[in-house]
Each structure stands twice: as C-alpha cells, then as structure tokens.
Structure 1
Amino acid sequence: MLETFERAALEAGKAIMQVYREGCPSARKADNSPVTIADERAERIIIAQLEAAFPKTPIIAEESVAAGNVPVIGRSFFLVDPLDGTREFIDKRPEFTVNIAYISDGRPVAGIVYAPALGVAFAGENDKAEKLLVDDHFQVTQRTVIRVRPQPADRTALASRSHNSPQTDVFLAANAIAQCTNIGSSLKFCMLAEGLADVYPRFTRTMEWDTAAGDAVLRAAGGSTVTLDGLPLTYGKTSQAHDSDFANPNFISWGSARSALERA
C-alpha cells in the first residue's frame, strides 16, 4: 500500500511544485479556507492512483468533500489532503505537504506525508516509520528508519503557525514546557516521529484529512495522538451532533505511546 501512496504523493508533489513556481490565484471555499488549482490537480492525481490500485476502497478527499462528493465509508477507507498548508503554499513558505492515509477500524494504520518544496517525505505502516529524501527529479534517494525519542525533562512543543490559540499557551504553562516551535501543516506529527520534538497540542479545528497521514506516521514511530480525555483519536467520525462529518475534537500528539491522562 505504501508503494502506491509514495507514487501518488510524488506525482502530486510534482504538479504542486509546477504551480508553486509559476504562481496562481487562490479562491475561498464555503468554510472560508483557501484553495488553489494546485489542490485540485494534486487531488485528481491521487484519487486516480488510489482508484486504480484499490477500486473498492472509499476515498474521502478534502476538495471532493467540499464539492459534495462524499462516498459512504465502511470499516476501511482512505483520507486524502492533497495540499495541507495551503496558506503556507500561497505565502511561499515551503512547509506545505501532500497527505494520504489508510484508515481501518477508526485507526490510521498507514500514511505518507510529502513536503515537495523541502524534498522530504515521511511514511509509516506496521510499526515502522521512515524518512525519505527526495531529489529535484522527484525520486527517492535515501530512506532512514525513524523513531520517537524518550521524553526528556526539558520538552519541546510544536504549535501551528497559522492556527495557534490561547489554549496552547495555557497547556504549555501547565506542563512546564518553555520551548515551542511554530511550523505549518502535518510536518508537526513528523517532527515528533523523527524525535525532534515531544508534544503537539491542538486546540483549534482540524479535519480528519488534515491529521490522518501524519498521525499514521507518528503512531508507526511509537507516538500517540489522544483526545483531551486521554483516549486515542479516531477516524471516520460521521453524524456528529456537535460538528460536521470528519471534524476532529481538540487533541494532543505525544512523542510516546502514553496517554494524556497518564501524564496528568
């Protein structure tokens, strides 16, 4: 499965980088979030690859959902964010990513996060996570197994560059975390997986396609993502009384498998 993810992500990244270099106008979707032709081209590429390899598996993709194309899901399905960090993309910051994940029984069990402007990707499946170096020809040149680090006494937190909140500052103070780095897109999960940071608290709205691929990489590397009650973040959340389909609650991602309740 990861081989298909890798091919789709690299091809989508190539299309995205063409638009990135040439520049393009952006538009606003119904939820006021930005969208560009790069999002749309990348999503078409990814969906075509997934449908060809796994024709019976439903695909929940961000731009398709925004257009009203929402297939019925079962126990297994794909989650696709063709361009996570569109604001970074528009502002010419290189932290945007291509995200593809496979969900089984509510868990993200395989995923890839590809940052084409940085020439790096992260993939995870079956308790194994890797960092991939990608050259200018969109070919993988190196693969390195990655793992979360033991939690140090002086922990480093990660926060969203574009979606930070006062609750994040409260969390950092309550957990005596003095060092916090802001970074865009799902790369925050990957930094935890690589052992470069320790915790990523998220108190502003996300959708499942925003988090699933990075969460899959993090869990494969030995980390965890939990809701504020300490339970694992699940996927495939539909018919939610308090929010729209596939919307996430607030969560904490840790560079370890222990829950938030165990840390309280």
Structure 2
Amino acid sequence: MTDFQTDLALISDAAKAAGELAMRHFRQDPKVWWKEGNSPVSEADYAVDDLLKKILLEARPGYGWLSEEMQHADLRDVGSDRFFVVDPIDGTRAFLRGEDTWCVSVAVVENGRPVAGVIAATALGEHFEVSADTPTRLNGVVCAVSSPGPADALRLAVPDSMRKRLQEAGGDTVLLEKAVPSLAYRLALVAAGRIDGTLVRPRANDWDIAAADLLIERAGGLLSDRHGDASLYRSHGKRHGLLVASSLGAQDRVRRLAAVIPDRTEEI
C-alpha cells in the first residue's frame, strides 16, 4: 500500500465516523450561529470538525490543517509537505433544512494538489473515495465521468443564479438539472457520471473543492478555471475564480458556456 493509499484509508474511516456523528444532529434542531457573510454554522459543524481534527492530527501530527471552521487569524502557511483540507459539513443550509444533500469532505494535499480525497454523503448512503494512484470509487465500485457525444445536450447542475444565462446561451444544447446545494457533492456527481458537468461560482474555498477535484481527475475529468488550468491549494487557504468541471471531452463545450458568466459574484 502506498503512502497515498494509507492516507486514504485514514481519511475514509475518519469521514465515516464524522458522517455518523453528523447524523446524530441531523433533523434534531441543532444550535446555529451566523458567521461573517451571513453564513450559518451549527453545533454539528463544530462537533464534526473537532472529531476530524482529533482523529487525523493524532494519526498524522506532522501534517498541516485547513478547515472551514478555523478562525481567520489561524489561517497560515504551515510549511508542511502535506496537510488536511476539511469541510466538516458541506451544505450546512441543506443540513439545517433537513435535506439529505450534504456531505463531509476531507482531502490530503501535497505540493499544491490533492493526493487523497473522500466525500461522505452519509444521509444518502454514498461514500466517494480516491487517491492519486487509485481510481475513483463510489461505495467501493469504480466510477467514471460521463462521455456525452458532440451532438448530445449537456446535463449540467449549476447554481440558480446562473440558470437563466446558461439557458439563453446554450438553448437546446443544455439540460439544466435540479440545483444541488452542496458544492462538494455536486462535483462528486460529475465524477460519478450522473451529470455531465457543472460551473462553480467565483470565491469557492479550498475546503469546498479539494477532495472533489481529485475524484473528478481520477474519474477521467477535470476541474479547472475558465482557461483550463487546474487549481493549486495552499495550507493558508485561498478563494478561486469561476471553475468548470466536466469530462475531458466536454471541457471545451462547458468552458464556452462559462464565457457568459462574469467573474464577480455580485453580478451572478
């Protein structure tokens, strides 16, 4: 077993435990606070974050740590060769509404790129996992991105704010699926071939996308900026511009559609 696979086994078990803990708070009216930017965070988010930090850093004390629930003052480049990137509950709003489209997202990053990743959509009974030297798997079964033909309409799931622009730009060449509130889970659907692609609004954070990035790559696709360049990740975190995810064969088509989407979130 390689180092990447050993790390994958660790984060896979940790994500399963985290998902089980989240389920104990799910639909139980957890206490909620509001962060900067009017974003909710619940006692479930904090509990899951604490559990993951305990499990992962006890097992890998030399690794760095980047989590959505870190205080801004604690975000720094730790200079570690490898670090964890964690979103304890991606899709907190859906979680608080009692909807099941939320997930636990955990990645290991080395030299700016993810080398192991897990997305545990526990309420749906779906567990995605991958390492840099294994294929993407969903519940243990290898999966791959879709392969739409050049004449096939693209099945895209996008934020509601983008739907009108994309429908006008794509017409009959685009089939817009129901919006998915968890970004990490939406990207996982690309890796599993359930949708052909998606666009990600500007200002997504590392913890939103790192695990799914590797899921898509190893499933035969690409998560990139509008120019086709892959993302790099740092232990102090960063926000990304508009991102495009699809199979390699559909990238050009999806990037052309992305041209109608501005780079400023307030314009979307």
Superposed pair shares fold, TM > 0.5: yes
CA positional deviation for 1:192: 0.9
**Aligned twin of 2:13:** 7
CA distance in structure 2 between the aligned counterparts of 1:261 and 1:235, rounded to whole angstroms: 26
- 1:72 aligned partner: 77
Higher mean C-alpha displacement, 9-18 vs 171-180: 171-180
* Closer/same/farther in 2, CA of residues 73 and 175 from structure 1, 3 Å limit: farther
Structure 1 unaligned residues grouped into runs of 5+: 133-142, 239-244
Between structures 1 and 2, the one with greater helix share: 2
CA offsets per residue over residues 107-138 of structure 1, 9 Å max, x none? 12210000111111101112510001xxxxxx
Q: Distance in 2 between matches of 1:257 and 1:220?
A: 15
**Corresponding residue of 2:264:** none
Distance 1:229 1:88, change over 3 A: same
Question: Which amino acid letter does the alignment assign opposite residue 174 of structure 1?
Answer: A
2:240 aligned partner: 248
Structure 1 residues 23 and 263, CA gap change in structure 2 (3 angstroms): closer
Correspondence for 2:174: 178
CA distance, structure 2, for counterparts of residue 253 and residue 172 of structure 1 = 18
**2:37 pairs with 1:31:** yes
Aligned-residue offset at 1:237: 7.9
**Match for 1:62 among 51, 57, 68?**
68
TM-score, normalised relative to structure 2: 0.83
In structure 2, C-alpha distance between the alignment counterparts of 1:8 and 1:253, rounded to whole Å = 27
Q: Give, in angstroms, the shift of residue 261 of structure 1.
A: 8.7
CA distance 1:103–1:175, shift in 2 (3 Å): farther
Match of 2:259 in 1: none
User: Does structure 2 conserve the Cα–Cα contact (< 8 Å) formed by 1:222 and 1:257?
Assistant: no
Identical aligned pairs, as a percentage?
Answer: 26
Task: Please name the residue that 1:128 is paired with.
Answer: 135
Alignment root-mean-square deviation, CA: 2.2
1:51-130 correspondence runs (5 A) = 51-66=57-72, 68-74=73-79, 75-125=81-131, 126-130=133-137
The residue aligned with 2:229 is 231
| Aligned structure 1 segments of 4 or more residues deviating by more than 3 angstroms | 171-177, 257-264
Structure 2: runs of 5+ lacking an equivalent: 1-6, 257-268
Could you tell me whether the CA contact under 8 Å between 1:171 and 1:201 is conserved in 2? no
Structure 2 counterpart of 1:253, which letter?
A
On the 8 A contact 2:14/2:55 being kept in 1, the answer is yes
Separation (CA, whole Å) in 2 of partners of 1:255 and 1:188: 14
Asked if structure 1 preserves the Cα contact closer than 8 Å seen for 2:66 and 2:235, the reply is no
Rounded Cα–Cα distance in structure 1 between residues aligned with 2:255 and 2:42: 41
Looking at structure 2, the residues matched to 103 and 112 of structure 1 have their Cα atoms a distance apart, in angstroms, of 12
8 Å Cα contact 2:76/2:235 also seen in 1: no
Q: For residue 145 of structure 1, report the CA deviation from its aligned partner.
A: 0.7
Q: 1:37-71 CA deviation, whole Å, 9 max, x = no partner?
A: 000010111111111221111010111245x3324
Kindly state the Cα deviation for residue 217 of structure 1 after the two structures are TM-superposed.
1.1
For 1:12-42, what per-residue CA distance to the aligned partner results, in whole angstroms no more than 9, with x for missing partners?
1111111114221311012321000000010
**1:208-236 CA-partner distances (Å, limit 9, x unpaired):** 10111111211121110111122112212
Who is 2:187 aligned against? 189
SS of 2:127 mapped into structure 1? strand
Task: Count how many residue pairs are aligned between Structure 1 and Structure 2.
Answer: 243
- Secondary structure of the 1:23 match is coil
